[in-house]
Structure formats: structure tokens, C-alpha cells
Homo-oligomer: A and B are copies of this chain.
């Protein structure tokens, strides 16, 4: 569904004529058109899901085979499924695993000099040479999150040489929301421009909710598997084990999750570094793992089993999003020893994942005063050998709960200008409650404008064309075109009409 009558979907290919890459074409009243990057996918009936766009490509490579996969368990859907004795609305997508010895990651192909359909698709979307895509993926400076079990996804790329991307978090919790609501939030987020979506569900029906989301998602889906693993041990962090976690990861890999946040950098010896902070450990994953380390006085099992995780991820082409469990939760704690120690470990883990040809991005803060923002990218890019940086904001001040989409957009635009590849959105409800549908939209639009401001500031080829088209329409009083070209035509038009509702006020 497009958001304005002047918008249509057009499909483009490279010289092979084999691809159908969607763009949003904006028809202007002066006869010109303007094409925009499009994230919303072809649209789906939630109960049917999307067509498996990439199945033919994956099958064509001949390096995977269908298999039954891990047997579903009641615990996958949480405690109420166990109580009921059955899961709700079950759904199983196709499962693929690689043939023995095959390495099916985009990084492995890129390093072998093989150009995949995914890379060609991405090159059309970005309007760049496919060799740039291949070489950046091969070098680890960009990732194409594309699990072989999520064939419904339209390939996209995350890397500093490409358009800055944004992620929207959705997910249920113990207090709110249903499966249908979460699929609706997914659709709403991608309609407004989310490039990836993370499902952070912690409530009931986690497994099934995720299945519905993935089967309906044209964008890569990310998760934080420790959240589900914790549910499986009744929320008691010290009861977690590598075995429970491993099984959860396999469960999610088989469903088609494209990237997973793994808090493997929260080492036992770093935990005391947070003792004198203003806000200690605020990352949920970080505090779960710190709690486990302290309870057992053992090293983080995600760190000690990291190579095994790599082995699993490479079988499905799941990308790491190396979590910053010790990120600062306040401007006071920014760029401190705890944060930077963990970053050094994430750099080490990046190199280890790359030995397995597994794609990696690295997560970043959080809360950072504006003068310290650039240092975060500089150190991450330097230490992590250019692996894509994926940051939450950062929030430039702590004093404005209710407006943290804005405090964080300030930091986000700045950090992206300096080289961050993807921005995780923050909604107005941050720190206060769970985002509803409107909050999701506000968060997405706010982050789209921050990402685009960074693209313009970076001098990204063609980025300013959009600004120029809109500014020209504005200068020529082509109101309808100004609305059609804006990130949110609905809001722009309704604001205009509040003051000047007359129809002729839009044309003169």
C-alpha cells in the first residue's frame, strides 16, 4: 500500500532483465517523476505470507537441501503454551540447510568472487556498481542480512558506503499485544520506511509471533535470542546455559531470522567497571549476561562458545549484530572504560566471525553527549576493521523523556554522518512505555530524516536530489508535489489544511 495517490510502485532490473527491484515513483504535477528507495515490499495477506522471492536463487546455487529441522517444543511459545498443552496459530516455513561442507553466506560468496543475485539486487536498489557491493561484503565493511530460510526478503545492504539504513523495533511483552498486532506493526514500520525490523518479543507465543512476522516480512528480521532463552528458564538468568541458548538460536535460525544480537562482549572482568556509573548496566541483554557471569563466577558462555555460534550462523547465513551490553545509559557514562573495553572484545569477535565467513555488524550506544559522538564511530571503525556500525541513537541528552526520538535523532544524524551504517530507531515512548502504532511511525519518520540528513552530509551520490526536488516544488508553490515528495505526505497535507483548507490554496 502506498501512502499517497501520486505514488506508484515501479520495478527495475539490471542489464540481465531478471530482477524486479521496487522503487516508489512520485508523479509530479509538472510532468516530472521522482523515484525513491522502497522498503515496503509487495504487500501480503498475513495468513498467507509473502511469495518466496529468493527461493529460486537459493535453490539455483545448489548448495542447500530441504530438511525437517529441529522438532518444535511447547516451551518455544512460553509458559502459557505449556499450561495450555498446545501452541497457538502454528506455522512452519520451509527449512533449508547447507550441503555438507558448503558455506552459504554472502560473505563466503563475495570472498570467492561470486556475484549473487542478492548482490545484484542490492546494486540496483543502491544505484551503484555491483562490484562495490561484492567487494565491500568481501571485506566485511558491509553486510547483506539474508538467511536462506527467509526467502521472502528483498535483499538490502548495511555499510558506510551505502545509504544509511534504519531499524524499527517491535515485539510483544507480558503486558500487551497480540500476534496480529505485531504483524500490523511490522507492516506499518516498513510502509513508512524501516529497512530492517527487530522482533523483541518477550511475551506469550514468541515462536509463533516470530514465524508470522518473518513469513510476512520483505525486510531482514533481527532478534535478541537471549530474551527467548530467558523465557525458557522462567526468567531466571542464573538458570541459563549454553545448551538452552544454543537450542534457541537453532530454532530461530531455522525460522529465518536474518541477524541476531549476541552479547558476547560482556566479559566477567568488565562487570566491575560499571560499578561507579550513574546508570550501571542498562542493556537488557547486558544485564542478563552480567548477572549470569556473577552468579556462576564464570566467563560469559556466549564468549566461550563463540566459535560454535559462528558454525551455526554460517549454515543459514545469519549475521551477527554484536551487542553492546555495556553501553552507556546516560550521558555521564559515555565513552567510559566499561564501554570501550567491551568494544575491544567486539573487535576481536568480529575477526573471529570473519574467519568463518560470517557477516558481522557491531552495535553502539546509547546515550552520548554530542561532542563525544564522533569518537564512537572512529574507534569502532578503527578497532573493528570497518565492520558496519549499528547504533541506538545515541541520545544527546537525558532530560527529555517523551521526546527521545528527537534527542536521539540529533545523535543519530551526527553519528551516521561520521560513518555509522544503520540506526536503530527510538520512539517517543523510550524509557516510558511500549510504542504503539503511531509511535512506530513517528520513530520511523524521525529516523528516516536523520539517516537522510547524514546521506546528504556525506555527499552520498544523488542523496540531495530528493531535497532539491522538494525545495523546487516548495519554491514554485506546487503544494501537492511538496506533500507527495515529503517523507510523510499525510501529515504534511493535514498540517497545511489546518491553516488553509481551501482547495485552491494547494495550487497557488
Q: Which residues of A contact B (CB under 8 A)?
A: 175-176, 278-280, 282, 329-332, 367, 369-371, 396-403, 405-407, 409-410, 413-414, 417, 428-429, 431-434, 436, 445-446, 448-450, 452-454, 456-459, 464, 466-468, 470-472, 474-475, 482-483, 485-488, 491-492, 495-500
Contact = CB atoms under 8 A, between A and B. Distances in A.
Contact of A330 (B279, B450, B467): B467
Given A370-B453, A370-B457, A417-B370, A499 B429 contact: yes
B471 A403 contact: no
Nearest to A494: B402
A276 to B, nearest CB: 13
B279 A403 contact: no
A403 B278 contact: no
B495 A399 contact: no
Contact of A410 (B176, B282, B413, B429): B413
Given A401-B470, A401-B492, 19 more contacts: A370-B414, A396-B413, A399-B452, A399-B467, A399-B487, A400-B448, A400-B449, A400-B486, A400-B488, A402-B495, A403-B445, A405-B406, A409-B410, A410-B413, A410-B414, A428-B495, A429-B495, A431-B482, A433-B497
A492 B417 CA distance: 30
- Say what secondary structure dominates the interface of chain A: helix
Best-buried of A176, A371, A467, A486 by chain B (most CB within 10 Å) = A467
B403 A175 contact: no
A475 B403 contact: no
A25 B286 CA distance: 36
A326 B491 CA distance: 29
Contacts of A470: 398-399, 401
A189 B417 CA distance: 33
B406 A449 contact: yes
Nearest to A479: B432
A157 B173 CA distance: 48
B496 A279 contact: no
Contacts of A428: 495
Among all A-B residue pairs, the 8 with the closest Cβ atoms: A433-B499, A330-B471, A370-B457, A402-B491, A396-B453, A398-B467, A371-B457, A432-B495
Contact of A278 (B431, B457, B472): B472
6 contacts: A329-B471, A371-B417, A397-B453, A402-B487, A406-B446, A431-B474
A279 B413 contact: no
A405 to B, nearest CB: 8
A432 to B, nearest CB: 4
A330 B279 CA distance: 41
A457 B453 CA distance: 20
A453 B282 CA distance: 21
Contacts of A403: 445-446, 449, 487-488, 491
Contact of A332 (B407, B448, B464, B499): B464
Contact of A280 (B409, B467, B475, B482): B475
Contacts of A498: 429, 433, 436
Contacts of A413: 370, 396, 410
Contacts of A436: 498
B449 A407 contact: yes
Contacts of A492: 401-402, 432
A403 B490 CA distance: 12
Contacts of A499: 175-176, 429, 432-434
Contact of A329 (B406, B454, B475, B482): B475
Contacts of A459: 371
A64 to B, nearest CB: 41
A193 to B, nearest CB: 11
B496 A432 contact: yes
Contact of A399 (B397, B417, B429, B485): B485
A178 to B, nearest CB: 16
A278 to B, nearest CB: 5
A403 B482 CA distance: 13
A467 B467 CA distance: 35
Contacts of A446: 403, 406
Nearest to A497: B433
Contact of A449 (B399, B433, B445, B487): B399
B278 A482 contact: no
B410 A331 contact: no
A23 to B, nearest CB: 16
